Amino acid sequence: MIVTRRDSLGFLLLFVAPGVYLAGSPVRAVQAQTQIVADWRTGLTIHGYDPVAYFAEAAPVFGLPKFEHAFGGAVWRFRNAGNRAAFIADPAVYVPRFGGYDPIAMARGVAVPGNPSVWLVFAERLYLFHGYETREAFRRDPRRAIAAAAEKWPGVMATLLP
């Protein structure tokens, strides 16, 4: 099941149920559901940044239109064909945790889209943050921040569903 709606910030919210097959790839559920934030004007996730580059190059790198892939009802861009292939093989590895929402805001029960330029990879997962302050708060105790965000995640998602 895929449900979409626009929130007050102009982002297209995409809800993907676990086990659903999208674009030929199975979605591995990390939580009860995965929600991906995408720009409603372009359909791009992470503002067009390559999600694999955060791991492969340890930097946010813009993807190219010629290396796009539709997944989860949104468009993902990649720097090269190899990064696109890695994502297609296992998207759950590369999709930002909490769908791209800031985990510190999520821990407070608020859905705030993360900034793709303010990021961190922790325990082999990508996290996006609204600002540098929330990234630093996460760094102080990432396990606690993740646990608090995971606890609030289902309730926050329920408020976002139409």
pLDDT tens, residue by residue, 30-75: 333 457 888 888 889 999 999 999 999 999 999 999 999 999 888 9
Spatial contact of 41 and 12, defined as CB atoms under 8 Å apart: no
- Annotated domain spans of the chain: 2-160
Q: What is the pTM of this model?
A: 0.78
Would you place residue 161 in the very low, low, confident or very high pLDDT band (cuts 50, 70, 90)?
low
Rg (CA), the chain: 14
Nearest alpha-carbon partner for 123 in 55, 65, 70, 48 = 55
Other Cβ atoms less than 10 A from the Cβ of 23: the count is: 13
pLDDT digits (tens, 9 = 90+) for 108-157: 999 999 999 999 999 999 999 999 999 999 999 999 999 999 999 999 98
pLDDT at position 45: 95
Spatial contact of 82 and 63, defined as CB atoms under 8 Å apart: no
